[in-house]
């Protein structure tokens, strides 16, 4: 039953940059696992405020970039590929992103120890968990059954993600 995942490496292809995922869905799922690990790290940080601030900054950056590549690239392609089933699924996902981004915005302005800081992280964790479950349990499997070229899309998303990460790095440098 399981189809071999590994493709024979063709000599015409240039070496893939490190970490380049197989396709668009793999890329997004890797991001999900990364953010889940950060949420776990936050829980483990307990009362270490500087550690918490650092982890939350990483969570906010990761979620912002992830949401951007989904909204800019993956969701429009999924909406089209899924045809009439696409609108409801993608609309819901976009509304969930609004709630997530709202909390991310609040956390970017907040410091550990402030009122509702931990509660905001907790609720964000729950929102993300729910959202990831819907994407991985419903949207992604449906998209995989369409003829959308996930490999090509994944390559474009990977490039865009690296661009966005470089921008964030520059912003941090500017801020000192
Ligand atoms: Fe996602
Ligand atoms: Fe999403």
Q: What pLDDT was estimated at residue 165?
A: 94
The DSSP letter of residue 18 is: T
Distance 117 CA to ligand 1 centre (A): 23
Distance 163 CA to ligand 1 centre (A): 18
Distance 159 CA to ligand 1 centre (A): 17
Confidence of residue 175 (pLDDT cuts 50, 70, 90): low
Assess contact for 119 and 103: CB atoms under 8 A: no
Distance of alpha carbon 95 from alpha carbon 32, whole angstroms: 18
Q: What pLDDT was estimated at residue 19?
A: 75
Q: What pLDDT was estimated at residue 126?
A: 98
Confidence of residue 158 (pLDDT cuts 50, 70, 90): very high
Burial class (CB in 10 A: 0-12, 13-18, 19+), 35: buried
Assess contact for 20 and 161: CB atoms under 8 A: no
Q: What pLDDT was estimated at residue 174?
A: 62
Residue 160, C-beta contacts closer than 8 angstroms, at least 6 positions apart? 69, 72, 73
Distance 93 CA to ligand 2 centre (A): 6
Task: Read off the pLDDT of residues 36-86 as tens digits, 9 standing for 90 and up.
Answer: 999 999 999 999 999 999 999 999 999 999 999 999 999 999 999 999 889
Judge whether residue 34 has pLDDT over 90: yes
Distance of alpha carbon 63 from alpha carbon 83, whole angstroms: 27
User: Which segments of the chain does DSSP mark as H helices, in order?
Assistant: 24-45, 49-69, 75-81, 86-108, 117-134, 140-144, 150-175
Task: Read off the pLDDT of residues 86-101 as tens digits, 9 standing for 90 and up.
Answer: 999 999 999 999 999 9
Percent of the chain with pLDDT over 90: 81
Distance 135 CA to ligand 1 centre (A): 6
Assess contact for 67 and 101: CB atoms under 8 A: yes
Judge whether residue 16 has pLDDT over 60: no
CA dihedral 159→163→166→167, nearest 10 degrees, is -160
Judge whether residue 106 has pLDDT over 60: yes
User: Which residue carries 């999900």 as its tokens?
Assistant: 32
Distance of alpha carbon 72 from alpha carbon 90, whole angstroms: 12
């Amino acid at each position: 039953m399981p189809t071999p995942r590994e493709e024979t490496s063709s000599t015409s292809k240039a070496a893939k940059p490190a970490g380049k995922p197989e396709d668009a869905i793999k890329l997004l799922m890797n991001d999900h696992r990364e953010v889940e690990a950060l949420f776990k790290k936050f829980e483990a940080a307990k009362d270490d405020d500087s550690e918490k601030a650092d982890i939350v900054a990483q969570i906010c950056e990761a979620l912002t970039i992830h949401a951007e590549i989904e909204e800019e690239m993956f969701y429009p392609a999924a909406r089209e590929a899924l045809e009439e089933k696409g609108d409801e699924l993608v609309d819901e996902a976009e509304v969930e992103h609004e709630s997530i981004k709202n909390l991310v915005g609040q956390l970017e302005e907040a410091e550990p120890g402030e009122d509702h800081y931990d509660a905001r992280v907790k609720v964000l964790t729950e929102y993300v968990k729910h959202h990831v479950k819907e994407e991985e349990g419903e949207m992604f499997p449906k998209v995989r059954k369409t003829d959308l070229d996930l490999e090509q899309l994944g390559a474009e998303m990977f490039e865009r993600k690296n661009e966005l990460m470089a921008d964030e790095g520059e912003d941090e440098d500017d801020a000192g």
